[in-house]
Amino acid sequence: GAGVSQSPSNKVTEKGKDVELRCDPISGHTALYWYRQRLGQGLEFLIYFQGNSAPDKSGLPSDRFSAERTGESVSTLTIQRTQQEDSAVYLCASSLGVTPGLNTEAFFGQGTRLTVV
């Protein structure tokens, strides 16, 4: 597609339920990132996929959070047993990947606004 696509755009869920958030990166982008943006805050890094390498999960806040990516395509972020503090906008970004010593621009999706009630 033309840009990074995320679905759903909005999700309201009850505390304790599991949710899945989807990200379709730009075609050909090997790197994919998930970030979380809480109200009035900057973005917090969650997880990073680069090609077939093991993902960098260093930003995941708890074991209730997990993410998968199939090849260089769609990624799914799953939050189990949601809590009210999980309410945030979850942003996905993709880029052409990383060359040592050189970075490439990340393109962000519109995000999924998650509200846990």
Nearer to another protein, 82 or 93 (CB): 93
Footprint on this chain of another protein (rule: CB under 8 A): 3-4, 31, 33, 35, 40-45, 48, 50, 56, 59, 91, 93, 95, 97-98, 100-111
Nearer to another protein, 33 or 65 (CB): 33
Minimum CB–partner distance for residue 117 and another protein (Å): 23
Nearer to another protein, 3 or 8 (CB): 3
- Contact present, 76 and 22 (Cβ < 8 Å): yes
Instruction: Report the phi/psi class of residue 29: left, alpha or beta, with left for phi > 0 and alpha for psi in -120 to 50.
Output: beta
Minimum CB–partner distance for residue 16 and another protein (Å): 30
Minimum CB–partner distance for residue 38 and another protein (Å): 10
- Contact present, 59 and 46 (Cβ < 8 Å): yes
Minimum CB–partner distance for residue 13 and another protein (Å): 23
Who contacts 92 (Cβ-Cβ below 8 Å, separation ≥6)?
A: 4, 6, 21, 23, 25, 32, 33, 34, 35, 75, 77, 108, 109, 111
Nearer to another protein, 79 or 89 (CB): 89
- Output phi, psi for 47, to 5 deg: -155, 155
